[in-house]
A and B are shown apart, each in its own frame.
Chain A
Amino acid sequence: MAAVAIVPFFAGPWLLSTVRDALVMGILALSYDLLWGRAGVLTLGHTTFLGLGAYGFAITTVQFGQAAVTGLAVGMFCAVAAAAVIGYFLLFAGVRLHFFAIISLAVLIVAQQLAVSWQSITGGDTGILGIPGLSFSVGSHTLDMSGPRASWYTVAVVLLAATALIWLVCRSRYGKVLDAIASNEWRAKACGYHTSFHLLLVFVASAALAAIAGALMAACSGVVAPDVFSPLLATEVILWVAIGGRGRIGGPVIAAVVLTLVRQTVSSYSTDGWPLILGGLFLACVLFMPKGLRLHELVEAAHRAGRAVWGRPPVHRAGHAQEER
């Protein structure tokens, strides 16, 4: 937290805005961690709600000239309404797992097409430019949060608040219920849980949080284009949570921030390199770390590698042989 508070005083404006955008992706990762990591609902189109939040914010503020708060509310409303409708028809009809994932991908592509072709509202391929930054007016006072430092703190506060909230939910009894539904939905039904309703609730909450991330993204960068709906970004979201560890809170956020920064770096050298690296990471994750990256396992692996290089005392070798038997 101290680091988050101090960074703006040391980092240059470019670095500050890059890391801030990465933190926004951390919020998105958190929303997906709640949905997939906790409740076990896999979607390939989670960025639908990020895009709805971003476009809702942009259209309300730019095309209709409304205040930023209204834009945020409209963005969230669009995402919540879309999630509620899609979720109701799919989850209540018993659509689960890969079927749900494939339909969510189709929804993402529909949203992308809509953003490209509804030019009068969405600006088509160019998207919407000149989106105002965040500001809140209470009476005659206006709290402007559009500057580089102010927007940094806004994003950081939202990220911390969302992390704390989700941490509390996961630790609560309701978190256990979600665990149970993810682990054995049939059994949860037999315990009297209306599982479809609980999954819908999580789906909608997750969409709302993704929409907040979308609105922040639009407000911070000032532009929104149809590529927020790209399947590539939707894949990245899954990878963040997979690498960070499903159901853990800090891991996915850190993975999102780090990988987004890596993407920025790689893209500055070559635009084609990133999908290749992403695919490689995904494969490596599925093959070698199905439970995500764990620091203590990394340390152990380093120890093992070290011992292999420098040799190890015979006692260790005997102990190891026993373990293998």
Chain B
Amino acid sequence: MDGQFLQGTNLSRAFGGINAVAGVDITIARRDLLCVIGPNGAGKSTLVGLLSGAIAPGSGELTLDGERMTGRPMHAFCQHGVVRKFQGTNTFLTMTVRDNLVVAGLGVAAYRATPMPDPDAVLEEVGLAGQASELASHLPHGERQWLEIGMAIMCQPALLLLDEPAAGLSAKDAQRLVRLIHRLREQCAVLAIEHDLGFVQSLACETWVMHRGEVVRRGSYAEIADDEEIRRIYLGRRATHAAH
């Protein structure tokens, strides 16, 4: 089962004449861990939208496991294993934390040979076991982030797309998330979009820099952080701060 899972060629998408994503080539293998950074408006979220099927590409091709997925609806992407954690929080607010996980797991489990993960084990993993019967709307922001991550795990991802996972997390929680992501990588590929460079540094993985819809650099975090041009585009003084 090794090899390329997701393959996107020349992916583009424009909004109102502005190229949010302009000709991105991307391949993701089954156990890859990849971080995408870039300034606001660089097209990171649009890229996640394209990869998760939430946004149809204007041009370009996308395949999952060799199957052409260009223009297919979002639920089909999820059934194929591309699972997305949204930016900010997006849960079923009127339902309990545990029911959120159960519903998240059921949708995909119908298409898989494997049964859905045990919701209580996932609750334990994301640290919400104590809040299982609370309404999702009663959780504070940081815990809703964990709930979303739990929901994504319930969907049995082959590729997990994390849109700003560390936003709203305390430094301690962010480190907990880094450990969780490294554990998850044993089962699936992970692509994270992040603003928090400290978080990217502690993930210590392949890092891409996006600028004006294009991927301008690909390399390890250390290489990226040392790149003069990247500093000029994006990192500025924050990189020196984070690198040392």
Contact = CB atoms under 8 A, between A and B. Distances in A.
A193 B75 contact: yes
Contact of A176 (B54, B79, B102, B155): B102
Contacts of A187: 86, 90-92
Residue in A180, A184, A195 whose Cβ sees the most chain B Cβ within 10 Å: A180
Interface stretch (B11-19, B28-36, B106-114): B106-114
Given A173-B102, A180-B103, A192 B75 contact: yes
A191 B108 contact: yes
A69 interface: no
Contact of B52 (A173, A180, A190): A190
B84 interface: yes
- Majority DSSP secondary structure for residues of A touching B: helix
B192 to A, nearest CB: 17
A194 interface: yes
Residue in A173, A177, A179, A183 whose Cβ sees the most chain B Cβ within 10 Å: A183
A205 interface: no
Nearest to B148: A187
B107 A193 contact: yes
A179 B100 CA distance: 10
A183 B75 contact: no
Contact of B107 (A179, A184, A186, A188): A188
Contact of A192 (B78, B86, B99, B100): B78
A37 B236 CA distance: 53
Interface string B72-113: 011100110001101000111111000110111011100100
B20 interface: no
A194 B74 CA distance: 9
A179 B75 contact: no
B74 A184 contact: no
Contacts of A186: 90
Nearest to A182: B94
Count class of interface residues, chain B: 20 to 34
B99 A191 contact: no
Contacts of B108: 191-192
Contact of B84 (A173, A188, A190, A194): A190
B47 interface: no
B106 A173 contact: yes
B48 to A, nearest CB: 11
A317 interface: no
Nearest to A195: B75
A191 B151 contact: yes
Contact of B75 (A173, A180, A184, A189): A189
A30 B99 CA distance: 24
Contacts of A193: 75, 107
Given A184-B92, A190-B84, 4 more contacts: A177-B103, A179-B94, A184-B91, A194-B73
Interface of A: 173, 176-177, 179-180, 183-184, 186-195
21 contacts: A173-B103, A176-B95, A176-B99, A176-B102, A179-B94, A179-B99, A180-B92, A180-B95, A183-B95, A184-B92, A186-B90, A187-B86, A187-B92, A188-B103, A190-B54, A190-B84, A190-B86, A191-B78, A191-B108, A192-B107, A192-B111
